Structure 1
């Protein structure tokens, strides 16, 4: 067995010491970065909230939504699912937030002879009178929500001189086609009745 020279032994000892010592953490710098990151995220959320409120202010000319009539009639169709939002018709990124229409939520839809009743737990309910319904179609997206082709029921309606698209997704997507057919038939029948007057 060979013995190490004193110089070689010192080098071996220094290498072993270097491997065992850990770098000291600069906690002040890490905490500073963390606080800066939290403040940046808070600023972004505050700006988003202010933008949402500003959009609601810009849409302040939209009148109050109609109330559900006392006698809406029997439900032709009903559906449980999600309400994904409303936009200006044909402009699927121009979200409408006035009167709570921008709030995504669960929804219970009922189609009666009086119109479309949308009950939303935790958000404002709304009602679309039959005379204001314009079209129903299957689509794939609305205001930041993109689904598979035909995965969204979009109902176009008129309110305050403005055409609005509202997007719904049933818990059972197979119901969408029946809703489109029934709504469009009901709208065509209403248009024929108005044209005969």
Structure 2
């Protein structure tokens, strides 16, 4: 068969194929089903994350209340601005502490004074670490599930006998070395003073 009849059959076949392809492309019930399923999955994951966060907060409910935040940190040693990345139990960078607002990342203004470390967190809970609670500082690459190749400033301190690590990143990370030195020096000086006072009759 040739001629007009063949051409007509070919046109019909092509039209049928195009109609089938169009039907596939405009399969709205199928697309809507996949979209709803994906949204439900995202909602479930978010709910599980919230449940895990609340469960961790419940487990850490025995963590003592944080020291009250004073008006100032005393004579200023160092100041900087940056980000607060979280707090963990000392030596365990994956054990995030969420009690008392310590689990929320935020902007932070840090002031190291003779009386301790004052961390002001706009829109979040401020943190005060008295000098007597400071045990040291170091530069590290990660904390609380957050890895920063350029490094973090990690301050180690105690709260009613619980050893903690708090991670910060200054807007200018080259300041970290000076902070490590200053915090360690303050912690050592305070420890010596405390021992001298305890030894006095």
Partner of 2:34: 33
Alignment partner of 1:164 is 2:154: no
Cα distance change on mapping 1:92 and 1:71 into 2, 3 Å:
closer
Partner of 1:13: 11
Maintained 8 Å contact 2:72/2:118: no
SS at match of 2:81: strand
Q: Which moved more, 1:72-81 or 1:107-116?
A: 72-81
Cα distance change on mapping 1:29 and 1:19 into 2, 3 Å:
closer
Name stretches of at least 5 consecutive residues in structure 2 with no aligned partner.
Answer: none
Task: Note the 1:72-87 alignment, pairs <5 A.
Answer: 72-87=73-88
Distance 2:122 2:152 in 1: 20
Name stretches of at least 5 consecutive residues in structure 1 with no aligned partner.
Answer: none
Distance 1:115 1:5 in 2: 96
Q: Find runs of 4+ consecutive structure 1 residues off by over 6 angstroms.
A: none
Distance 1:89 1:16 in 2: 71
User: What TM-score do you get using the length of structure 1 for normalisation?
Assistant: 0.91
Q: Which moved more, 1:57-66 or 1:80-89?
A: 57-66
Task: Note the 1:60-79 alignment, pairs <5 A.
Answer: 60-70=61-71, 72-79=73-80
- The CA deviation string for residues 81-136 of structure 1, in whole angstroms up to 9 with x for no partner, is 00000000000000000000000000001011110001000110010010110010
Distance 1:130 1:146 in 2: 27
User: What TM-score do you get using the length of structure 2 for normalisation?
Assistant: 0.89
